[in-house]
Amino acid sequence: MWMWKGAVLLLIPPVSAWTAGPAPTAVPEEVKATFGTGVTPAAPQLRGSGDAALADANVDNSRMQPWARALLATVAGLAVMASPRAAMAQSGVNMYMGQGCFWHVQHEIVKQEVRASGLARQPTEVTALAGYAGGKEVGSKGEVCYHNMAMAADYGQLGHTEVVNVNVPEDKVGDFAKAYFDAAEKYPFGRADPQDRGTEYRSAIGIPGGMDGPAFKAVEAANAGRLELVRGQGNDADTVGTKKVWVYDSNEFPFHQGEIYHQFHDDMIERYPQKYHDLKKLLVKEGAIQKVGCPEMGF
């Protein structure tokens, strides 16, 4: 993860990962087929659950008659119109989670979205996006940006932390929170990436209403007393060396999508399969990822 110390930009490799623990957890086969295990650079074949849309895109239609291509395009258009994506995004609960660097957090949440035992989502239905939340201020045009040479609305200076937002059915909030807490309780320093110091990496969960909202009961049950859940006030302190997790009211402290280059990015020590990275281009095309008013540095 990149860190700024005055005018010096430092690159410090992390010593822990989102799924850190005494023994590796078995990765379901359908997740391996789509996104790999998270440690291999090889791009697997597209044949896993949540894979059909990308697999279909590889069909060679160069020999099809013009009328057939037109018919296929019409059918595809009708299928998109009938897709539950829009309704899902409107009826679900938007929640965000942060635990150190957002690159590996996004990868783990995406795996939970696509696996059959999770939400069994297709690539075009993936909602996990990296960004920022938990700060009291935003830029002059509402923007929140990563550290940049233009000094544009720096998220650290504005009091935000790195998080990943995901839209889930109301009855799945507890499942996603449990996966978060299962990983978090294993970190000896209280959170992932302890070498990344500062408020930008604090542990955080954001749900509508925060600790007073209807979703908090599911989050609290998923935690089962393992970590200390603390009401977020905004611009809160780092949680490294503690077992604290700031709980934010996402209505008061909303999610701000990060730059496009941060989406579906390799972690500092993990290299993810190409099919995972391809989600960025796919979701930009679908309009699910929007360009924000921040510099796109592209590392």
Distances (CA, A) of 292 to 117, 142, 266, 284, 298: 33, 10, 21, 12, 13
Element (H, E) at 35: helix 29-35
Domain ranges of the chain: 86-286
pLDDT at 138 over 80: yes
pLDDT band at 195 (very low <50, low <70, confident <90, very high): confident
The model carries a pTM of: 0.74
What pLDDT band is residue 168 in, cutting at 50, 70 and 90? very high
Give the model confidence (pLDDT) of 218-264 as tens digits.
Answer: 999 999 999 999 999 999 999 999 999 999 999 999 999 999 999 99
Report the range of poorest mean pLDDT among 78-82, 144-148, 292-296.
Answer: 78-82
What is the fold, at CATH topology level, of the domain defined by 86-286? Peptide Methionine Sulfoxide Reductase; Chain A (3.30.1060)
* Cα torsion through 288, 292, 298, 299, rounded to 10: -90
Between the alpha carbon of residue 118 and those of residues 113, 166, 171, 280, the distances in Å are: 6, 13, 12, 21
> Is the pLDDT score of 58 beyond 90?
no
Angle, CA 155 vertex, CA 289 and CA 234 arms, to 5°:
105
Task: pLDDT band for 143, please (50, 70, 90 cuts).
Answer: very high
Q: Is the pLDDT of residue 70 over 50?
A: no
Averaged over 156-164, what is the pLDDT?
Answer: 97
pLDDT at 83: 38
The token pair that represents 123 in the structure block: 């690539």
Q: What is the mean pLDDT of residues 59-73?
A: 38
* Of 89, 101, 130, nearest in space to 20 by CA: 101
Nearest Cα residue to 272 out of 16, 43, 1, 18: 43
Nearest CA to 27 among 40, 17, 14, 36? Answer: 36
Read off the amino acid at residue 37: T
42 band by pLDDT with thresholds 50, 70 and 90: very low
Q: Of the ranges 45-49, 127-131, 167-171, 293-297, which one carries the lowest mean pLDDT score?
A: 45-49
- Residue 145 DSSP one-character state: B
| Cα–Cα distance for residue pair 66/190, rounded to 1 Å | 59
Residue with tokens 């659950």: 49
Q: Tell me, what's the pLDDT at 268?
A: 86
